[in-house]
């Protein structure tokens, strides 16, 4: 049950009736919103329809307020409406009778697993079949904390979209075809020689981390000294395959520690292989050529200081400016090999060919300059039928009591994600990574995220769930025969919930479906974390009022019926908190120790 959606449909019907009566043209109901007012004193719902359609309505309505008045007259006819007011130039504020919240709480209790899920019509607007590609760290070592932010964001977004009814594929793109993989192989080869007894110094430009020693030891065990007598062109493919496999095992293990599992791993190397006489990259370029979107030409020099590798030459270019990019983009290097962009085009064409309606790419903030060209490519490849949404995750600054954390000996030049997870726990990492919008910088303080205080958001929310569970245990102790299962509590006398604190909790619980729909549509899982903190804050506040006013406590041994109603409210709270925490991949503990 989504109160906001119900009234959006009702107001849309009122506008449709005005159209039938010749007072309004046909209007797009998706343009206006029904949302919680910023000030609780203004009511339960706020609507901007009169303001949004002021231009279309001016023929028959002198001002937005006059259109708002017409809408308000119709809204007053609904039995759930207590009163309707017009604010400012034409905003509509709707005050609801408490009965609608009692009905909503009963609906939550009747089908707890369904509450907040998006209906099928709304799911179609979210994309239906969605590919979320996230992490995609180079397979050159263990994941660092920055990778962790993208990993948690992508995983929570996939959870959110799946909860909203989308068919979701969680994908990892393995960057195993670039020069950095050759650097990895050469680094591992030195560790192989070290395992055979040589004293090795790691030169500048190679990976110095101790995590490569194990790979070198495995190679030494498998090949003995056999690789020493081979040329680099002979040993490099062997070492490269072993190194990539080992690094992917390491990355999967790091992801497993965060409770993240991908459905599909796509190897970049498959794009370069020729299976039918041409590679997937060649086929993608030919596809664009057939659409007259590839030509031979010269690019203007970049603004500012020219890069060392800049060449003024004729080259194969994609007409990306036709699709919103700043300049056309090169598809082949001077030696005829494909550019990185060409490989990315082929990869996204493969995803489009697999039938996805929406592609979500989760990248690091250092790739921001790449967004326009990739968006242009997807538009060209799909005839603008597939949406690409690139989500950039800003850097994570790792702190301890406000001081920067030193580098890791194991990784060589960064703190590994696994070290952070092992120190503070998966719940703290996941929640706090999502307690900021993805494109905002994040200071992650290892000491603060494990504090048991209201200033620690993950503790504050988990404590609310645990505290609610303690209420249920108290209720069972006071009334052993009280069945506090959700189904039984649908018969609770919810009309006894008349305190302002109880009403506030019901009001926030009612916002859960709207928040889920908005978060899924915007691809913003941080909204779930913000919402859970708001709901937890309201619960803790009402709990604290019970210390001063015993009559407000959830369990009263002398008031069975009132206790039953309040227990029903608390069970609804646990349903929503548990559901929200599950979407974030965070546990909902029955007790906090």
Q: Which of 428, 450, 472 is the C-terminal boundary of a domain? A: 450
**Do residues 514 and 576 lie in contact, with contact meaning Cβ atoms separated by under 8 Å?**
no
Q: Are residues 190 and 336 in the same domain?
A: yes
Q: Is residue 149 part of a domain?
A: yes
DSSP secondary structure code for residue 556 in this structure? -
Our count of domains for the chain comes to 3
Q: Are residues 429 and 502 in the same domain?
A: no
- Write down the residue that tokens 């068919």 correspond to: 167
Q: Is residue 565 part of a domain?
A: yes
Which of 280-283's residues contact partners 24+ apart within 8 Å by CB, and which partners?
280/346, 280/349, 280/350, 281/338, 281/342, 281/343, 281/345, 281/346, 282/338, 283/346, 283/349
| Tokens representing residue 343 in the block | 């490989």
Q: Are residues 74 and 135 in the same domain?
A: no
Q: Is residue 69 part of a domain?
A: yes
Q: Are residues 253 and 381 in the same domain?
A: yes
Q: Are residues 462 and 446 in the same domain?
A: no
Q: Is residue 105 part of a domain?
A: no
Q: Are residues 32 and 91 in the same domain?
A: yes
**Do residues 572 and 108 lie in contact, with contact meaning Cβ atoms separated by under 8 Å?**
yes
DSSP-assigned states of every residue in 222-282: HHTTTTTTS-HHHHHHHHHHHHHHHHHHHHHHHHHHTT---SEEEETHHHH-BSSSSBHHH
Residue 122: per-residue pLDDT: 59
In sequence order, the 6+-apart residues with CB closer than 8 A to the CB of 256 are none
Residue 548: per-residue pLDDT: 87
Q: Are residues 213 and 303 in the same domain?
A: yes
Q: Are residues 422 and 289 in the same domain?
A: yes
| Tokens representing residue 309 in the block | 């590798």
Which CATH number characterizes residue 545's domain? 1.10.730.10
Q: Is residue 121 part of a domain?
A: no
Q: Are residues 444 and 463 in the same domain?
A: no
Sheet of 294-297: strand order equals 294-297, 315-318, 329-330
- Write down the residue that tokens 């036709």 correspond to: 322
Q: Is residue 117 part of a domain?
A: no
Q: Is residue 491 part of a domain?
A: yes
Q: Are residues 215 and 289 in the same domain?
A: yes
Q: Which of 450, 479, 498 is the C-terminal boundary of a domain? A: 450
Q: Are residues 234 and 139 in the same domain?
A: yes
DSSP-assigned states of every residue in 393-428: E--EEEEETTEEPPPPTTTSSS-BHHHHHHHH-HHH
**Do residues 388 and 374 lie in contact, with contact meaning Cβ atoms separated by under 8 Å?**
yes
Domain span at residue 518 reads 453-584
Q: Are residues 424 and 478 in the same domain?
A: no
| pLDDT tens for the chain, residues 1 to 593 | 899 999 999 999 999 999 999 999 999 999 999 999 988 889 999 999 999 998 888 888 888 999 999 999 999 999 999 999 999 899 999 999 999 999 999 999 999 999 998 765 555 567 789 999 999 888 888 888 888 999 999 999 999 999 999 999 999 999 998 888 999 999 999 999 999 999 989 999 898 888 999 999 999 999 999 999 999 999 999 999 999 999 999 999 999 999 999 999 999 999 998 767 789 999 999 999 999 999 999 888 877 777 776 778 889 999 999 999 999 999 998 888 899 999 999 999 999 999 999 999 999 998 888 999 999 999 999 999 999 999 999 988 888 888 888 765 555 567 889 989 999 999 999 999 999 999 999 999 999 999 999 999 999 999 999 999 999 999 999 999 999 899 999 999 999 999 999 999 999 999 999 999 999 999 999 999 999 999 999 999 999 998 889 899 999 989 999 999 999 999 999 999 999 999 999 999 999 87
Q: Which of 394, 422, 450 is the C-terminal boundary of a domain? A: 450
Report the predicted TM-score, pTM, of the whole model to 2 decimal places.
Answer: 0.92
Q: Is residue 112 part of a domain?
A: no
| Tokens representing residue 32 in the block | 């206006």
């Amino acid at each position: 049950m989504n109160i906001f959606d119900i009234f959006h449909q009702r107001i849309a019907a009122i506008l449709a009736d005005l159209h039938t009566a010749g007072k309004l043209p046909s209007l797009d109901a998706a343009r206006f919103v029904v949302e919680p007012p910023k000030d609780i004193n203004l009511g339960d719902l706020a609507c901007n329809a009169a303001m949004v359609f002021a231009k279309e309505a001016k023929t028959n309505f002198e001002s937005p307020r006059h259109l708002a008045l017409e809408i308000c007259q119709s809204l007053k006819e609904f039995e759930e409406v207590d009163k309707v007011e017009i604010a400012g130039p034409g905003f509509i504020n709707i005050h609801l009778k408490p009965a609608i919240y009692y009905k909503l709480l009963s609906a939550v209790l009747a089908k707890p697993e369904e509450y907040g899920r998006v209906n099928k019509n709304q799911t179609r607007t979210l994309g239906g079949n969605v590919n979320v590609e996230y992490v995609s760290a180079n397979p050159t070592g263990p994941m660092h904390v920055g990778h962790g932010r993208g990993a948690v964001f992508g995983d929570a977004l996939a959870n959110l979209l799946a909860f909203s009814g989308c068919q979701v594929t969680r994908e990892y793109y393995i960057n195993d075809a670039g020069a950095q993989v050759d650097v990895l192989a050469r680094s591992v080869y030195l560790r192989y020689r070290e395992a055979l007894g040589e004293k090795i110094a790691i030169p500048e430009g190679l990976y110095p981390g101790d995590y490569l020693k194990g790979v070198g030891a495995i190679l030494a065990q498998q090949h003995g000294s056999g690789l020493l007598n081979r040329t680099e062109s002979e040993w490099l493919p062997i070492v490269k395959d072993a190194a990539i496999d080992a690094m992917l095992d390491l990355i999967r293990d790091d992801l497993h520690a965060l409770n993240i599992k991908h459905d599909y791993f796509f190897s970049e190397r498959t794009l370069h292989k020729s299976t039918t006489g041409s590679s997937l990259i060649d086929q993608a370029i030919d596809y664009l050529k057939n659409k007259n979107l590839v030509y031979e030409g010269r690019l203007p020099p970049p603004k500012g200081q020219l890069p060392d590798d800049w060449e003024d030459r004729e080259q194969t270019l994609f007409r990306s400016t036709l699709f919103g990019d700043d300049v056309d983009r090169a598809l082949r290097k001077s030696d005829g090999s494909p550019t990185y962009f060409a490989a990315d085009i082929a990869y996204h064409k493969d995803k489009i060919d697999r039938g996805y309606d929406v592609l979500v790419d989760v990248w690091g903030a250092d790739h921001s300059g790449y967004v326009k060209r990739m968006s242009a490519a997807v538009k060209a490849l799909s005839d603008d039928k597939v949406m690409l949404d690139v989500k950039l995750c800003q850097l994570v600054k790792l702190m301890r009591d406000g001081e920067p954390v030193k580098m890791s000996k194991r990784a060589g030049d960064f703190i590994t994600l696994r070290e952070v997870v092992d120190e503070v726990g998966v719940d703290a990492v996941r929640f706090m990574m999502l307690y900021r919008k993805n494109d905002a910088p994040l200071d992650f303080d290892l000491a603060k995220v494990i504090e048991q205080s209201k200033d620690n958001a993950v503790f504050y929310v988990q404590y609310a769930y645990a505290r609610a569970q303690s209420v249920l245990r108290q209720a069972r102790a006071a009334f052993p025969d009280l069945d506090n299962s959700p189904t039984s509590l649908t018969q609770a006398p919810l009309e006894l919930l008349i305190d302002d604190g109880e009403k506030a909790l019901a009001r926030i619980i009612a916002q859960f479906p709207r928040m889920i729909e908005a978060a899924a549509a915007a691809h913003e899982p941080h909204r779930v974390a913000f919402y859970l903190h708001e709901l937890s804050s309201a619960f803790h506040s009402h709990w604290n009022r019970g210390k001063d006013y015993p009559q407000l406590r959830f369990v009263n041994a002398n008031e069975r019926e009132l206790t039953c109603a309040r227990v029903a409210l608390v069970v609804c709270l646990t349903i929503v908190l548990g559901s929200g925490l599950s979407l974030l991949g965070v546990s909902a503990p029955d007790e906090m120790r």
